[in-house]
Amino acid sequence: MSRKVAVQCQCMNKVLQDISRESLELEDGIIDVKRIFSSEYNLARKDQLLSPRRSTSEPNIQYSVDYDDLCGPWPSPDHPTYKQYDDVLLKPMLCTWKFITIEDMKCMRQHLFDKNAIKSIIERKLPDDNVLFKGKNNKEIFLSFAWEIFKYMRDDGFSGKGISSILGLFYFTHRFFLSNSWRSAHETYAFFKDGLELHSVLNPPESDMIFNFSECDKLLDMFRSLYIQKLELVRLVYIPNYKLIFKLRKHNMEYSKESLVLQNSRMQI
C-alpha cells in the first residue's frame, strides 16, 4: 500500500513540474500579481514595467483671496524712517546731454581749470524743488563730488560727451542712493555700473558706445574710491538720523533697549 502511494506522489510531482515548465514557456504568461495601495490594481510583469499610480489624488481647489478684503490694508504708519526723499523707481538710463547739455559743455570748455565756474554751471542744473538739494551744505557736497569727477575726466583726456554722460549718471545715482534710508552700497554700485554699461554698447536709442572696456574699468575704480567709500557719511548728512527705542513687554515688566544710537542735532523722536 505504501509503495502504491509513493508511486502516485511521484506521478503528481512530475505532472506539476511539467505544468510549471509549460507556463514559463508562454510569452504572455502572468508571473505574479501584486496589489498597489491605490484605487486600482496593477499587474506587474517582468517583460513590461508598469508605472504605479499615485496613492492619493491631489486636490484641485481653485480659490482667490485678497488679503486687504479679509484683514484690511497692510499698516504703514506715518513714521519718518519710512519716508521717501526722492523717486524710488529711478532706473539706469542713457545720460548723454540730459543733465549737462551741449551748451553747458561749451561753457565748461571755456573754464576748464576754474573750479568755481564749473561748480556754478553744475549748480544751475540742480532742481530747486528736490529736498535733497535744499540747503547750502547739501548742494556743496554734491558739487564737490561733481568737481572731482570733472577734474578726473578732464585730466584723463575724456571727451565732452563722456563727461556729460558720467556727470549725468552720477547725478541720478546720487538721487537713487538717497531716495530712502535703506539703500545699500551694493545697490548703489550696481545702479552706477548698469548705467555705465548703457554707455559702452552701441544700441541706440537705449544705449550708445561712448566708453570702451578699459575706460569703464577706470570709471568704476574712480566711483568706488570717490563715492562708495564715503556713502555712510553722505547718508548721515543728507538723511535725518533717529534714535530708536524698542520696548518689549513680558510678564507685566517693561524692558527697553536702545538701537541705532545715532545722535542727530536736527531731529529726534
Which one has a higher pLDDT value, 267 or 63? 63
- Is 159's pLDDT higher than 80? yes
205: pLDDT confidence band, cut at 50, 70 and 90?
Answer: confident
C-alpha cell at 95: 545720460
**SS3 at position 203:** strand
Calculate the CA 63 to chain-centre distance.
30
Q: How far apart are CA 128 and CA 138, in angstroms?
A: 12
pTM: 0.61
76-115 pLDDT, tens digit per residue, is 555 555 566 677 678 999 999 999 999 999 999 999 999 9
- Is 122's pLDDT higher than 50? yes
| Torsion angle of the four alpha carbons 96, 97, 102, 105, in this order, in degrees rounded to the nearest 10 | -70
Q: Are strands 200-203 and 253-259 parallel, antiparallel or unpaired?
A: unpaired
Q: What is the pLDDT of residue 98?
A: 93
Q: How far apart are CA 221 and CA 151, in angstroms?
A: 15
Alpha-carbon distances, residue 257 vs 9, 79, 101, 229 (angstroms):
94, 19, 52, 30
**SS3 at position 245:** strand
3-51 pLDDT, tens digit per residue, is 555 556 666 666 556 655 555 554 455 555 555 544 444 444 545 554 5
Find, among 155, 97, 148, the residue nearest to 125 by Cα. Answer: 97
Residue 27: burial class (beta carbons within 10 Å; 0-12, 13-18, 19+): exposed
Domain boundaries, the chain: 85-238, 241-269
The residue type of 1 is M
Rg (CA), the chain: 39
